[in-house]
Structure 1
Amino acid sequence: MACLQCTSVIDENEQYYATDDMGPEIISVIERYLGHLIPEGGLICFACWVHTRRTIQQQGIIAAPAVMNMNACVWCRRSLAQTRSHSIPEGPERTIITQTIYPREIPPGGLVCYACWVAARRNVEHATRVEDNRQGPSNLHQDSMCAWCRMSLHRRRTHVASGPVRDEVAARIYPNELPEHALLCSNCWTRAHENIEMEQEVVQFDIQPPSASITLDGFTHTTQTSTHCFVPACNNVERNRVPEYLRRIILKSEKIFVTENARVCNEHKCLYNWEFLDQHQFSNTFTKNEIESMLKLSIQDNEINQLDFNNMSSIDEGLFKFWTGITKDNFINILNVISPALTCKKPKNCFGNLFGESSYRGLP
C-alpha cells in the first residue's frame, strides 16, 4: 500500500485514511495537488492528511451549503429515507467522522447511515490496535494464552499458575521464562497436578530392605510352601492346614518349626511319633518373622499346658484325640453310660476312673 500524495509505503501498523471516506472538499484539494482524479480505494498517509488539513485552513475553503439536508448522512450524504441510521454521540467515533468530513461540520442532530457508522467503529479499532503495537507488540495477547500449551484461553476455564504447579510448568517450558501472572488452561493445570502427584509417590515409595536372617543351632524349620505336605518326599495329594497343637508338639519334641502356611496330608496328620523327621535336612536359617512366629507358638504352648476336661469345648478336637485316642463325642457317650455307676460329678474325675490315675497324670 502506497500513499497517493507522497507515494511512500504505508505500514499496516501506521495510521492512514481512505479517500473513499473523505469529503469532497478534501478530495478536491488532493486532486489539485496531484493534477488528476483520485481513483477508488486510494489511501493517504497520516503526514499527507495533516498537510491537506493545513492547506484547507490556509486557503479558507468554506464548507458546503449552510442549509444541509437533515435526511442525509453527514458522511456520505446519501439519503436516510429507506436505510438504517445512527446518531453520532460523543466519543472516538464522532472524532473520526469529524476529521473525515472536515472542513464540514456535524450539524446538531446530524445522523449517519449504518454503513458509515460501522466504518467509523472500524477506524477506531484499527487506531487502537496500532497504538497497542507501538507500546509493546511482543506482550500483545500474552495473558490470553496458556503458559504451557500456548492455546487461546478465550471462553475456556483458566487457573493461575502458583505454588508447586508454577514450578512444574516453569520446568516444562524451560528455557522459556514463565510470566509473573501466568494462566493455564484446565487441561494443563490437571496435567501439572498429576505430574506432581506421581513425583511425590516416587519420592515417598520406600523399598523395604530384605529381612535379616539368622542361623539358630539346634532349631530348623520347614519350607515356606503350601503346595504339598511339609514332610519331605510325601506324595499324598491332601493339603490340610497343620493344626497348632501339632506344630507345638513337633517344635517341642523335634525342635522343628512348622511354618504357618505349611500343609499336611491326612496320613501324617494322625501321627504321634515324629522322630523320623531327623532323617531329613531342614533349614536352620530363620528370618525375623519366622522367629517371632516360633516364639508366639511356644508362648501359646505354655499358656495351654493344661487340658480342662470340665470344659471340653475349649479343647481342640485333634489335641483331645491325640492324648486320649478317642473323640470328644465318644468320651461324652462313654461318660453318660458309666457316670451313674461311678457316681462321678465331674468329667475330670470320670476320666481318671476310666483311664486310670497314671494316664490322667500323664496329660499335660
Structure 2
Amino acid sequence: MATVNHNLPSEVSGGVEAGTSTRGHTNVCLLCGCSILQQQSDIVLRENPTEMQQSIYNIIESRVAPRQISSVDHICHACWMRTKREVIRMNRQDENRPLRDLTDVDVQQDESQPNEAAPAEPTQLEPSVRTHQIVLPHYRRAANSTHNCVFPNCSSTTFHNISDKLRATVLHNHHYYLPKLARICSEHLTNNSWDTLLTSDNSIETFNVEQIQHVFSFVNTFSPTLDFDDIQNMDNRVFQYWIGLTKEKFNMLIEEVPRISQLHRGVLGTAALLLKMRTGDSDERIATLLQVPRRTLEGLMDKVREILCQDFVTRHLGINHITHEELLEHNLTIPNGLFGGEIIAIVICDGTYIYIY
C-alpha cells in the first residue's frame, strides 16, 4: 500500500504534479462521489473509534483500496448509515452462526499451520472472534427482538417490557434467559406457561459475551422470598408472575370482599391462596417463599377460602348473581323461536360436570 501511494505522483501524465485538484468538487463523498458541501457528512478516520466505528472504517477501507484514507476524508451520511446497517447485518449473521462452524475453522487453522510458533504476546481480537457463541447445556434463551413475544406462535401485536426482577425470577425457576430487547404480550404474562419456554421451538442454546454480562448485571436482583405484606413496593411483573393478576385487579378483589381486610393478615392469605392455585406448589414451598410458618399459612388460606366462597363466589357464579332482566338478554334467536318468546328465561343444563355419586 505504501509503495502504491509512493508511486502515484510519478504516474501522473503531462508533467503535472499530483495533489489537490483545482477543478470540480473538492468536498465529495469518498464512496459515492456526491457533493457533501451542503449536506450532512461523517468523518471516516477517527481517534479512539468505537467498535462499530472501527468496523465501518474497515468496510470503507476495503472498498477504496488501494487508496489510503486520510484524516480529512468524509462520506455522506447516507453512505455512513448504509455501511452501518451492513455491519449490523454481518454481526447478526455471526451471532446466528453455529458454534461448531467456528470450532471447525479453528481446527482447520491449527492443522494448516502445525509448525508455526505461538505468538509471544496476545494480539487484539478481531470483531468476528468476539462474536463466538457459548453453549450452556442446561440453559436456553429467547431471541433478542422487540417485534415478537418470547412465546412461540403468538399473534399479539402489543408487548410489554420485561423487568430485571422478572428476568432473574424466570432464570432461577425455569433456566431461561430473557434478553434486553425481549418482549412479552399481556396474555402470556398472565398465563402460567413459563415451563414451556425451555423446550419451545424458538428457544436458543447459544449465548454471546454481551448476554452473559447482562445476566451478571441483574442476577443479584433475584430474591428467593416474597413480601406480600408490602405489595405496593413489589415489582409489577414479578407480582403478576406469581399471582396471575395485576396489582389493580388484586386490590379490586380485596375491596369487593371487605372481610378479607378485616382478617388479620388476610391480604397475605389471599395472595398465598391465589399463588397456590396458579402454581400448584406445596404449602411448604409457599410458606418458605412467604417466610411464614406452614401451619399459620394453611390456617390463613382456609379462612380466606371460606370468605371467598361466601362473599365472592356467590356474586359471580350461579343463577342468583344476575337479575331476571339480565338473564333475558342472554337469550339467543333460535332458543327464543323454539321455546316461545322473549319474556321467558331459557336455561340449558348440561350434566357433563355434575358429580355423580
Bucket of the pairwise TM-score, normalised by the shorter protein: 0.3 to 0.5
Greater relative contact order, per chain length (Cα 8 Å cut-off, separation 6+): 2
Which has more radius of gyration?
Answer: 1
Structure showing the higher helix proportion among its residues: 2
TM-score scaled by length of structure 2? 0.39
